[in-house]
Amino acid sequence: MSAEREEEAGSSKGTYLRKAFKTGKKIKEAFVCATALGIYYLYLNGKKVGEDEMAPGWTSYRKHLCYQTYDVTGLLREGGNVLGAMLGAGWYKGLMGLDHKRNNYGTQTALLAQLLIRYEDGSTQTVVTDDSWEGKDSPVVFAEIYDGEIYDARLECPGWCEPGAGKQGWHKTERIPWEKRTLTAQGAGKVSQMDALPAKRVFVTPGGDTVVDFGQNLTGWIQVSAKGRPGDVIHLECFETLDAAGNVYRENLRTAKESVKYIFGEQEAITYHPSFTFLGFRYAKITEFPGEPKPDQFTAKTLHTKMEPTGEVHTSNPLLNQLWHNIVWGMKGNFLDIPTDCPQRDERLGWTGDAQIFCRTACSIMNTDTFFRKWLKDVAADQTPEGGVPHVVPDLLAGSENWTQGTHSAAAWGDAAVINPWNLYLAYGDKEVLKEQYDSMKAWIGFMKNHAVDYIWNYKLQFGDWVALDAEEGSYYGATPNDLTCTAYFAYSTGLFVKIAKVLGRYEDASAYQELYEKIVEKFRKTFFNEDGSMTVQTQTAHIVALYFNLVPEAFRETTVEGLRNLLRKENGHLVTGFVGTPYFCHALSQNGCVREAYDLLLKEDFPSWLYQVKMGATTVWEHWDGLKPDGTMWSADMNSFNHYAYGAVGEWMFRVMAGLETSEKEGGYQHTVIAPRIGGGLTEAGASFRSVYGRVSSHWEVQGERITLTVEIPVNTTAEIRLADAGEILADGGLSFEATQEGPRALTGSGTYVISFLRKQE
């Protein structure tokens, strides 16, 4: 039911809906299932139901609309009751997407609810949304995802959701037709208020603005406590960074207002946070405030999908620890129901490439299993009939007149359809996700195959090695040609699909796609390698993907590695890679005898590098290497997010290689862990832990002179293999028997904690 009228399609106001009802007998238990077109908060007898925020989240609503279920036994009373909801425009009706269009899914917000009451005597009663519900405008006079919220407390309706509440201003509601088949049980983590960060300081900028600083770039709300008279205003305008002069910098938000306004009503002392929007910020300009604002009046509340924290990385290098912190906060900031590119500007979309690149790192940091599975359902649902994968999911681009160059199927972006399920399987060992997504993966590979010409794949709009520094001045497109990135990913995804088919025992597919895989690889080799073993494309990214995706003819491996080292030297040891090359750079080096170079790259502190950002004061990961340049100027405001998780994908190297925590592909889920740490970078200590489905698994090393002590934990009912590529003589074997192999000492073991020490291998 909707409290809005069709003519209000352009409105961003909030509404109340409610229904009074009576219960008759002794209540045993009661549950409510609810969802909305828009964002909703459910209330029963004046109390908020559950702890969810921003429900029902964002899905491809016309295909999946998640409903939530709550136990409300404790909130029901014998006698008079009122079930109610507050609704806002949200992703459903509000302005969203690169076209700045509103009403992407519909024109009126609406609530669907069913309350089931079970009485002690075995009888039941249901209360459902129907024509008897009444509606009214709420004090939320404006709320939009990009622009923020305006709350006018003068319009509050005290006791609106309590028995005996007044009728004034309430009107009939309207039934909104909706395809009920879209209803899907939530089945995934829900968005909640997570961290609470007190303000660090309130200060005045050189330009004279009063600003509150939370010391951390984040996604969520500001909760403010203040006293005021009716009509007084609190107005906060959020932003991520100060400019070189220390002044408010909001240009990179583009058209997003990120503004929150509270207008006082009768109540003098209030505590308020918005509810129908979210903001990406570290700072807020205090544009209006009753009295002098003090830091203890402001708390930042983070909002993201509730997921179990699973992984940690720690080293002896404080800058590297800060980088890990930034990666984790980049994740917190961009896992708000769907994986977004960024949380602040007028974008915040489910860009498939970003989600693909960061997925493996994310799977280590928190348990993303249900989060990604929910999103992958929409990846499949939004695929084109030919199997093309949209650039953003939920897909807001399809059919747009502004995207005539193509709205789907870019290499590295579309490959999320295969790579993400595979990563979930690796991290959590559950084959179900591979089954669920199997047809979607197959369709995506089919799409690439059908659009390939003699196995070289390319299609309409490609992002290539997006935002690489080897792009032409001012361009976003890196220097590596699309034919190469497309075909490399075509091979990689097809190769993964073969592995997936084998894991699921679908051997016919496995052999058919193995054949396809081999043809792509052969073509790649013929096209992108010269006879002398050099690559036809002299970019870092070309070499990285060729190496990491295993596309290099064995005879040319050394030349390719040398080629990559030369390209690194040419840049004085710096990367110039974008979305495609960056995630695998350290892997391509460390897998090919260049552990030292991988550490050098990771630990570079001058521009461009991961630690350059850290040294510039970053608290999350930036979109551009030159987001903030050494001279204090910035990359153009039209696309300069300071909270973009993509380059945080280096986290997986820290986890998998530095700490050496890896699951075997055959079993997945750390049923068989491969502990293969690589010592280096001048670190005296490094380690990682992961809360696997079997229990905690960890690897931690410490360096004392030439002696290295490695401590590993292997959970019960699992096995492990320990590979010590950097070991010379073993000084203490922890009770394990190591055998010498070409790759260094190796031992097999079961569960337990083992402390092993060895002398570092002489190079």
Active site residue: 347, 597, 652, 662, which one? 347
Q: How far is the CB of 477 from ligand BGC (least distance, A)?
A: 9
> For residues 140 and 574, what is the distance between their CA atoms, to the nearest angstrom?
50
Q: How far is the CB of 341 from ligand BGC (least distance, A)?
A: 4
- 457: which DSSP letter? E
The rounded radius of gyration (Å) of the Cα atoms in the chain is: 27
Number of Cβ within 10 Å of residue 115's Cβ equals 24
For residue 311, report the phi and psi dihedrals to the nearest 5 degrees: -125, 145
Degrees, nearest 5: CA angle 618-619-624: 45
- Of 139 and 390, nearer to ligand BGC (C-beta) is 390
3-state secondary structure of 176: coil
- Of 65 and 357, nearer to ligand BGC (C-beta) is 357
For residue 185, report the phi and psi dihedrals to the nearest 5 degrees: -60, 145
By the 8 A CB rule, do 361 and 652 touch? yes
Handedness of CA 275, 278, 282, 285 (dihedral sign): negative
- 469: which DSSP letter? T
> For residues 106 and 546, what is the distance between their CA atoms, to the nearest angstrom?
45
Q: How far is the CB of 488 from ligand BGC (least distance, A)?
A: 18
Q: How far is the CB of 468 from ligand BGC (least distance, A)?
A: 12
Residue with tokens 């790192």: 361
Residue with tokens 């961290």: 195
Active site residue: 134, 258, 597, 623, which one? 623
- Strands in 485-615 per DSSP E: none
Q: How far is the CB of 342 from ligand BGC (least distance, A)?
A: 6
- Of 161 and 410, nearer to ligand BGC (C-beta) is 410
- 351: which DSSP letter? B
Handedness of CA 37, 38, 44, 46 (dihedral sign): negative
- Of 13 and 348, nearer to ligand BGC (C-beta) is 348
- Of 574 and 624, nearer to ligand BGC (C-beta) is 624
Q: How far is the CB of 546 from ligand BGC (least distance, A)?
A: 23
Mode of pairing for the β-strands spanning 210-227 and 279-288: antiparallel
- Of 388 and 734, nearer to ligand BGC (C-beta) is 388
Mode of pairing for the β-strands spanning 685-692 and 311-315: antiparallel
Degrees, nearest 5: CA angle 758-762-763: 135
3-state secondary structure of 458: coil
- Of 189 and 339, nearer to ligand BGC (C-beta) is 339
- Of 212 and 416, nearer to ligand BGC (C-beta) is 416
- Of 30 and 342, nearer to ligand BGC (C-beta) is 342
- Of 162 and 354, nearer to ligand BGC (C-beta) is 354
The residue type at 591: Q
Q: How far is the CB of 347 from ligand BGC (least distance, A)?
A: 6
Please report, for residues 63, 95, 295, 404, 489, the alpha-carbon distance to residue 103 in angstroms, rounded to integers and kept in the order given.
16, 7, 38, 21, 35
Nearest residue to 281 via CA among 308, 260, 307: 260
* Residue-wise DSSP of 142-163: EEETTTEEEEEGGG--TTTTST
- Of 55 and 484, nearer to ligand BGC (C-beta) is 484
Q: How far is the CB of 334 from ligand BGC (least distance, A)?
A: 10
For residue 466, report the phi and psi dihedrals to the nearest 5 degrees: -45, 135
Hey, what are 36's tokens?
């909305």
Number of Cβ within 10 Å of residue 443's Cβ equals 18
By the 8 A CB rule, do 38 and 104 touch? no
Nearest residue to 523 via CA among 494, 563, 558, 560: 494
Nearest residue to 170 via CA among 395, 293, 20: 20
Q: Decide if 347 is catalytic.
A: yes
- Of 146 and 466, nearer to ligand BGC (C-beta) is 466
Binding site for ligand BGC (CB under 6 A): 341-342, 347, 351, 353-354, 463, 466, 639, 644
> For residues 393 and 395, what is the distance between their CA atoms, to the nearest angstrom?
4
Q: Decide if 665 is catalytic.
A: no
Q: Where are the alpha helices (H) located in 690-745, listed in sequence order? A: none
Please report, for residues 113, 247, 506, the alpha-carbon distance to residue 92 in angstroms, rounded to integers and kept in the order given.
17, 35, 39
- 654: which DSSP letter? I
Residue with tokens 């425009």: 89
- Strands in 170-276 per DSSP E: 171-172, 183-185, 191-198, 201-204, 210-227, 233-239, 241-242, 248-249, 259-263, 269-272
Number of Cβ within 10 Å of residue 313's Cβ equals 24
Q: How far is the CB of 364 from ligand BGC (least distance, A)?
A: 21
Q: How far is the CB of 733 from ligand BGC (least distance, A)?
A: 47
Q: How far is the CB of 609 from ligand BGC (least distance, A)?
A: 20
Nearest residue to 245 via CA among 620, 605, 634: 634
The residue type at 746: R
Q: How far is the CB of 641 from ligand BGC (least distance, A)?
A: 6
Q: How far is the CB of 182 from ligand BGC (least distance, A)?
A: 27
- Of 354 and 713, nearer to ligand BGC (C-beta) is 354
Hey, what are 434's tokens?
């591979």
Mode of pairing for the β-strands spanning 15-23 and 79-88: antiparallel
Catalytic site positions: 347, 623
